[in-house]
Amino acid sequence: MKSIYFVALILFMSVGMAVAQTNPLLGEFNTPHNAAPFDKIENDHFLPAFEEGIKQGKADVEKIKNNTDAPTFENTVVALDQVARLLGRTSGIFFNLLSSETNDELQEIAQRVSPMLTAFQNDISLDPVLFERVKAVYDKKAELNLTPEQETLLENSYIGFVRRGANLSDSDKEKFRAFSTELSKLSLDFGENVLKETNGYELYIADKSKLAGLPEGALEAAAGKAKAKELEGWVFDISMPSYLPFMKYADNRDLRKELYLAYGSKSFKNNELDNQEKVKRIVELRLETAKLLGYKNYADYVLERRMATNADGVYGLLNDLYEASHKVALKEKAEILEYARKNGFEDDLMPWDWSYYSEKLKVEKFDLNDEMLKPYFELSHVVDGVFGLATDLFGITFKENKNIPVYNDEVTAYEVFDADGTFLSVFYTDFHPRSGKRGGAWMNDFKGQWMENGVDSRPHVTIVMNFTRPTETKPALLTFNEVETFMHEFGHALHGMLAKSTYSSLSGTNVYRDFVELPSQIMENWAVEKEFLDRFAKHYETGEPIPAELVQKIIASQNYLAGYLSVRQLSFGYLDMAWHTLESAYEGKVKDFEENAWKKTQIFPAIDGVCMSTQFGHLFAGGYAAGYYGYKWAEVLDADAFSVFKEKGLFNKEVAASFRKNILEKGGTEHPMILYKRFRGQEPSVDALLKRSGLVNGDETAGL
């Protein structure tokens, strides 16, 4: 007869197994490479998994706090890096789905979970016992003989505690908690409002004569949208694959204006989805948090841990590039206005005219447009080309595995292998827009990379886009801009997939925000190289390789509107810095603040009813606050870095191996400038960017 204890143990184990079987997030993932079991996960599994993850995380923390041994690097700093693995796994799955496959239920869960996660993070960073243990290790770091990666982890841990309020008084710690909790909720609300506004607009047209100028592909896609809604005619929306062709090609100026205003007015309509007060409150809370921690503004707080160091460094970069770009942008506008006048246009040139007339001038100057290029960029061929580039540079290969579960039938899962056959990563691609997917394009990971107990736990990486869909008669044919976007996000993915760090918080894309865009932006450089395009750019019907003269036209047009595009990007950087260098709360109108902040960059008059700030997810629902300049800084880095490939060979394996070893594999294990100089041999120079963009002299007319 079994003992009562044994029976109880069996019952306990059975209950535990039943819970795990009921909720796949709480058990082992019996999938290839322990990939997320999307085919078994349901919405109601998430909240219990978060609750259990936080419970386990708290137990991990208590174990560190209650350790009677003296604080060491291993029992304190490394132990903290390994806290709450279940919570991290659950968060990686949930928040990726929230961006790419959301619904009302997931959004409601996010509203409940967000304050729980913020409270858990605050419980760690504001715990005096934990901080004292970390500080004890930090104070004797000179005696520990640490590796550079260990030194970085220790410094990040100590400084992270300080920057998250560990040195505050008890009363100020409570303020910090309140600020961070409210901020997390506001950021969620902000993003949800923008997505709902995007999904809530459509332009239905029954009269085909109003659609003159639009290419066949755009019309077919719009007809498909209408058919899906059981309508006769055409439906356009403000997702990029629908919006951009309309603005470029539609002859009907009134409809271009209507679509422009719909796109530009997202969350700026004084309705329940309006973000104006949220913008001001987010900025105020960030400022109050920074002041609480001893900084005069939020930018000073953020930039202390960036390559730019401070606001002066950011403004120095923005101003230098502005001086090189602004006169060129004005000349570009003048030429496009002259062209429009010659073609019967009599009004003032407005933003909804810019893409239309600049595209027509581009065709006239270079005999090139998207419709000429798209047949050579069929999506599956582009995938082959991009994957092939990674094989040529880094020796890695991709193998589709249909046994890896995916969260939508449109998603493809791959296994990624190194040149020696070693497994590197699970890699997901998700290419087309859906109502549950936010706009834009991004890379993220469902699971990061780390080393533990001698085992290299490999990452699960995803890239998500909003590319042109296939139609009833054509496969997915990408614009050249979409090809560049693919390569950009794939560069981020390489940063994640090739990670080779010991500690999860230093792995992959866990780097300074103004360094994270280097691996992504450098990949875009290959997109205009004939030697690369010849490998995959083939006509989807005939198989004909992209003609040499068409490639030359791409190259010749590469710097078309370089001044305007530079100034446009700089305008976002100036706006970001204006919001985050405020030293007191702003009480006025968001629109007024915005117009003043970027006034010198604007080549069009201000338009009533549109606002960038209320839809600027990078700043108010993402991680780029006081950091948007990083895109321009990364352009400096990527142009400088790619010049090595240009000098030594586009597919030079030595250069590629150095870039992999010193940049892609290292993550945030050392200061980015140290890593960059190890690859490049010197600090970056702006000269390569100005030369590439045709902006060497501000008086020159880049590409005109």
Return the DSSP state at 695. -
CA distance 166 to 279: 27
- In 10 A of CB 644, how many CB atoms? 18
CA distance 309 to 527: 32
Identify the bridge partners of residue 234 per DSSP, sorted by sequence position: 205
* 489: annotated active-site residue: yes
Query: Of all helices (H) and strands (E), which one includes residue 54?
Result: helix 46-65
* Contact call for residues 536 and 699 (beta carbons, < 8 A): no
Query: Of all helices (H) and strands (E), which one includes residue 189?
Result: helix 170-199
Identify the bridge partners of residue 378 per DSSP, sorted by sequence position: 477
Chain length of the chain: 704
Return the DSSP state at 230. T
Residues near 166 by beta carbon (within 8 Å), at least 6 away in sequence = 125, 126, 128, 131
CA distance 214 to 496: 39
CA dihedral 181, 186, 191, 194 (to 10 degrees): 170
Candidates 83, 75, 59, 50; CA nearest to 137 is 75
* Contact call for residues 555 and 326 (beta carbons, < 8 A): no
Candidates 14, 17, 40; CA nearest to 27 is 17
CA distance 29 to 32: 8
Identify the bridge partners of residue 445 per DSSP, sorted by sequence position: 461
CA distance 385 to 531: 11
Given 197, 359, 482, 489, the catalytic residue: 489
CA distance 661 to 500: 9
Ramachandran class of 363: left when φ > 0, alpha when ψ lies in -120 to 50, beta otherwise: alpha
**DSSP code per residue over 248-271:** HH---HHHHHHHHHHHHTTT-SSS
Phi, psi at 452, each rounded to 5°:
-150, 130
Phi, psi at 24, each rounded to 5°:
-60, -20
Candidates 288, 16, 346; CA nearest to 172 is 288
Q: Beta strand pairing status for 423-430 and 460-464? A: parallel
- In 10 A of CB 674, how many CB atoms? 12
What distance separates the 2 farthest-apart alpha carbons in the chain?
A: 100
* Contact call for residues 76 and 137 (beta carbons, < 8 A): yes
* Contact call for residues 129 and 64 (beta carbons, < 8 A): no
- Cα→Cα distances 63→59, 170, 514, Å: 6, 23, 36
Q: At what angle do helices 276-292 and 170-199 cross, to 10 degrees?
A: 160
| Coil, helix or strand at residue 479 | coil
Residues near 610 by beta carbon (within 8 Å), at least 6 away in sequence = 260, 261, 264, 265, 268
- Cα→Cα distances 394→245, 488, 498, 661, Å: 36, 17, 9, 10
Question: Catalytic amino acids?
Answer: 489
